[in-house]
A and B are shown apart, each in its own frame.
Chain A
Amino acid sequence: MSNDAEEPIIEVTDLVRDFHGRKVLNGVSFRVMRGDTMIIMGGSGCGKSTLLRHIIGSMKPTSGSIKLFGEEITTMHPSDLARIQRRFGVLFQSGALMQSMTVGENVALPILEHSKLAPDIVDLMVKMKLEMVGLTGFEHLKPAEISGGMKKRVGLARALALDPQLLFSDEPTAGLDPIMTSVVDILTQEMTRKLGVTAVVVTHDMVSAFRIGSRMIMLGTGPNQGKIIATGTPEEIRSHANLEVQQFIKGEPDGPVPLKLKKADYVERLLGQPRPSSKALS
């Protein structure tokens, strides 16, 4: 009998997503083990958020397999998918709070929908979750009345409302001040280390990524669009030989992902044709 701790919680195999002939994801394969904090990183437009949307069941891939808790979700009936979705929490990039509800109602929403707890217990749970993200006393405000960073923290509290086994976060620290970034990072670490929660975090924030990540994958851009160009532990990624990985983690403006184009390439891009020779111009 296999050890439960060694079974992957997430198993993605040869995932391909084609948008009108452009492969945003191109043969992505990786596994996330129980208790891991998997960091998905990569440049803007590399397909990180698209990958996350496929794993949470919001999008269907062109081909490939995604298994959550050992069950294939790409071909799953919506009611079965809903059963799986109850076991995980998702923090969206924008927070995705219900604008017509208060902060407290937003956090209470999954609890009220998926449990039959008494209202006073739900209130208590909402206060506990908001306390975890440093937002005690904000229950009665509407999302429009709080800042972008606060919205994100409410989104995190909502994602944690049902004590999920798996947490997905899309840019959890973007827009947060350094102190709140640490709070969110520590919260994620505590959940994975103390409660055995598995986390998948899409981020650009390298400090945060190396602080909380136990495994990392990086998606490529340009010719490597939609492919995993590096995978490993934070130490392995830090010393990875791929120059694009090094450019990304060090935040260098120029490298394999170019900032400045050669003159000929610039003219070619601008005019859509090779640069005319000086002879032809004369």
Chain B
Amino acid sequence: MKEYFTLLGRIFFWTFLAPVRGQPFKVSEVFHQMVLIGVRALPMAALTSFSIGLTLAMQSANELKKMGATSFVPDLISVSLLRELGPLLIGVIVIGRSGSAVTAELGTMKVSEEIEALQVMAINPIRFLIVPRVLAMMVMLPALTVVGNCIGMVGGWVICKYALHFDTSNFIYHCMHAAQPWDLYSGMIKSVIFAFLIITIACHMGLQVEGGAEGVGQATTGSVVWSLLIMLIANAMLTGIFFFAA
């Protein structure tokens, strides 16, 4: 726990203070990590969002039909995706796809003496390796969430259009009418906080690896488990804050 908070302090220093003192991180590396962490997770995130949009529409249509309220299916899809399912689902995908990859990569670098080599070359590993990954995740998870929300709505539209015989303009109107700007903002706030938690846990677990390949495997599993757990707890807390503050 102490090491985790020390890491957070060092990330803060090398992201905000060190660049002012003439020790900037590499911006090109941030873009490189954005591709690895975000762009490469896009197909999986898109497929998951699409299938969740489809499922959500079918399940809600089934229940709402009993009350003769199938016209509210788009409303339900848009609000639940923006507020809850979008950030959470994309968070889960990114934990499995990118968080684990970051832990495994850093862990392997640790056991193969690469991080020690950086240190003795007077290259700070936090500035060189961690800050670009943190910034990339903080940008790409919210971006993936926006894309995931849109694709999820496309999934919902497919059911509404071809099973419930909605007019496309009617579907869009209902989605836009039901969703308020705050629904999007609350989802984005969640997404940014999830990104921070996922990447800092992934980096922490990777840097703590000891004992070769077995240690890397354990750290990667630990990273996924802890990220999921902490993200779900944070989600419940944030939803509570938004619910009671509204």
Do A and B pair up? The answer is: yes
A-side interface residues toward B, CB under 8 Å?
56-58, 82-83, 85-86, 88, 90, 92-94, 96-100, 109-110, 113-114, 158
B119 interface hit (Cβ, 8 Å): yes
Chain B contributes a number of interface residues (CB within 8 A of A) equal to: 14
B123 surroundings in chain A (CB, below 8 A)? 109-110, 113
B119 surroundings in chain A (CB, below 8 A)? 57-58, 85
Q: Which residues of B from 72 to 126 have beta carbons under 8 Å from A?
A: 105, 108-109, 112-114, 116-117, 119-124
Q: How far is the CA of A58 from the CA of B121 in the complex (A)?
A: 11
| Contact of A90 with B122 in the complex, beta carbons under 8 Å | no
Nearest-neighbour CB distance to chain A for B6, whole angstroms, equals 13
| Contact of A113 with B120 in the complex, beta carbons under 8 Å | no
Q: How far is the CA of A113 from the CA of B117 in the complex (A)?
A: 14
How many A-B pairs have beta carbons closer than 8 Å: the answer is 48
With A92-B113, A99-B108 given, name 15 new contacts (CB 8 A): A82-B122, A85-B121, A85-B122, A96-B113, A96-B116, A97-B114, A97-B117, A98-B109, A99-B114, A110-B121, A110-B123, A113-B121, A113-B122, A114-B122, A158-B121
Would you call the interface of chain B mostly helix, strand, loop, or mixed? helix
| Contact of B112 with A90 in the complex, beta carbons under 8 Å | no
Q: How far is the CA of A88 from the CA of B119 in the complex (A)?
A: 12
29 residue pairs from A and B, CB less than 8 Å apart: A57-B119, A57-B120, A58-B120, A82-B122, A82-B124, A85-B119, A85-B120, A85-B121, A85-B122, A90-B120, A90-B121, A92-B116, A94-B112, A94-B113, A96-B113, A96-B114, A97-B114, A98-B109, A98-B114, A98-B117, A99-B108, A99-B112, A99-B114, A100-B105, A110-B123, A113-B121, A113-B123, A114-B122, A158-B121
Q: How far is the CA of A110 from the CA of B121 in the complex (A)?
A: 7
Q: How far is the CA of A57 from the CA of B189 in the complex (A)?
A: 42
Nearest-neighbour CB distance to chain A for B34, whole angstroms, equals 15
| Contact of A96 with B117 in the complex, beta carbons under 8 Å | yes
Nearest-neighbour CB distance to chain B for A140, whole angstroms, equals 18
Closest residue on chain B to residue A78 by CB atoms: B124
